[in-house]
């Protein structure tokens, strides 16, 4: 699969097919699980600031809800495709199953670029998205959340529109809301902290002291920022991050041998995660081409940006020093790269486990909203740590017992749980 021909849904299906063979799934179950149960395509007409009307394309995929309501984010991205949404919905099914929460997989998206849209125009897209799908989403059907280039404000606009349409309050309809408006304390940190918790457990297995380890992270969005913070709290030094610079439409890597000061970088970062390169240089940070994060002499690599980032073309550039890869992003490693990493003995924490902290805390938010009782932050993060650690140990125990690559162990657990739920319901 070349970079130019990359199709994330084909990759997700191939990952599933391999495990379906191992689990000896029957033909009906295979067909049911390798496609979304339902998907929606719709148009969103929006009145723009200049008085004109522009029509945006929106999507929602509901991959499988045998274990509970669908759950998954909504992306705003100029290059969004239905195949990306399908893949992410499938991965979300496995993710919820891996950490054993009673939800299925969903995903949504809109083809747009928020960088070039006013707040009023973005609100129009949010409300229009909900109007087109309002009968098919809700607290007991399908619960959206933020994803790439969406945030708590977007979620609140969507909630408000859903409530206006249905004539009732339903804070459990959507997660990732602002704290004080039904959002959960700890949700902002959850995905990045979840990555940190499973990295901590993997370092124990590898016999590497956290305060002796170096890490490199691709990305500087929400996941990366909080992954840096939690790793720093363990004593691990993060020597580089990378991000897309909106100003000159170029990707950069920001490196510092004695460790990245995340708070200093955040002070020169805009709300889309773009770091000011000149100010970074003035702080003594080395500014390198965007792909240089993968070349770093570190113990831990964390791809935390987009899918298709560690490929057959660049996997050989990964240093022999790297012992651990934790996938903060969804689908960052292609099957070709995965086979190389497996042969090299690199310990990989797959995306459906590594970045499951976000959906786990979204589940906590949904529970709190539905019961109208909210927990303190320490309790949320303690529950998150316990859930992530338990899931990691279950996957690792199976990998040791059956001598499996971590990704294969993870998929065997998650796919088997969903397949059994489908059989128990009498669907297959």
**Catalytic machinery residues:** 107
Instruction: Report which DSSP code applies to 333.
Output: B
Q: How far apart are CA 111 and CA 147, in angstroms?
A: 13
Q: How many CB atoms lie within 10 A of CB 152?
A: 18
Pairing of strands 347-349, 286-289: unpaired
Alpha helices in 24-173 (DSSP H): 27-33, 82-98, 119-133, 152-166
81 touches 45 (CB < 8 A):
no
Give kind and range of the element (H or E) at residue 347: strand 347-349
Q: What residues contact residue 119 under an 8 Å CB cut-off, 6+ apart?
A: none
91 touches 352 (CB < 8 A):
yes
The sheet with strand 53-64 has its strands ordered as: 38-47, 53-64, 104-111, 70-77, 142-146
For tokens 């909504």, name the residue. 74
Q: How far apart are CA 361 and CA 368, in angstroms?
A: 10
Pairing of strands 300-303, 324-326: parallel
Q: What residues contact residue 283 under an 8 Å CB cut-off, 6+ apart?
A: 261, 264, 265, 268
**Strand pairing partners for 55?**
45
């Amino acid at each position: 699969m070349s970079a130019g021909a990359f199709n994330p849904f084909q990759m997700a299906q191939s990952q599933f097919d391999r495990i379906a063979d191992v689990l000896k799934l029957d033909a009906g179950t295979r067909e049911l699980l390798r496609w979304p149960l339902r998907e929606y395509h719709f148009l969103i007409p929006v009145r723009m600031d200049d008085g004109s009307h522009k029509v945006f394309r929106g999507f929602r995929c509901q991959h499988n809800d045998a274990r509970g309501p669908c759950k998954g984010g909504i992306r705003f991205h100029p290059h969004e495709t239905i195949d990306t949404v399908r893949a992410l919905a499938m991965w979300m099914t496995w993710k919820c199953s891996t950490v054993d929460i009673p939800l299925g997989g969903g995903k949504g998206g809109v083809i747009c670029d928020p960088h070039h849209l006013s707040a009023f125009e973005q609100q129009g897209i949010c409300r229009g998205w909900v109007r087109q799908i309002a009968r098919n989403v809700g607290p007991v059907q399908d619960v959206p959340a933020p994803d790439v280039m969406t945030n708590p404000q977007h979620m609140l606009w969507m909630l408000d529109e859903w409530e206006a349409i249905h004539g009732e309050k339903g804070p459990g309809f959507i997660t990732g809301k602002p704290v004080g408006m039904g959002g959960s304390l700890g949700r902002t940190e959850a995905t990045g902290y979840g990555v940190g918790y499973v990295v901590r457990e993997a370092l124990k297995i590898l016999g590497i002291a956290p305060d002796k380890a170096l890490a490199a992270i691709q990305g500087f969005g929400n996941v990366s920022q909080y992954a840096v913070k939690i790793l720093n709290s363990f004593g691990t030094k993060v020597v580089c991050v990378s991000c897309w610079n909106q100003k000159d439409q170029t990707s950069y890597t920001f490196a510092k041998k004695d460790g990245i000061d995340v708070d200093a970088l955040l002070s020169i970062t805009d709300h889309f995660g773009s770091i000011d390169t000149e100010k970074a240089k003035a702080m003594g940070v080395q500014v390198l081409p965007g792909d240089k994060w993968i070349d770093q002499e570190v113990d831990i690599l964390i791809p935390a940006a987009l899918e298709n980032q560690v490929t057959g073309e660049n996997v050989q550039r990964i240093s022999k020093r790297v012992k651990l890869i934790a996938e903060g992003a969804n689908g960052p490693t292609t099957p070709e790269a995965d086979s190389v990493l497996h042969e090299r003995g690199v310990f990989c924490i797959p995306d459906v486990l590594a970045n499951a902290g976000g959906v786990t805390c979204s589940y906590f938010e949904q529970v709190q909203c539905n019961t109208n009782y909210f927990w303190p932050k320490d309790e949320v993060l303690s529950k998150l740590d316990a859930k992530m650690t338990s899931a990691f140990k279950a996957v690792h125990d199976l990998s040791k017992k059956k001598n499996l690559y971590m990704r294969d162990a993870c998929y065997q657990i998650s796919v088997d749980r969903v397949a059994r739920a489908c059989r128990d319901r009498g669907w297959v």
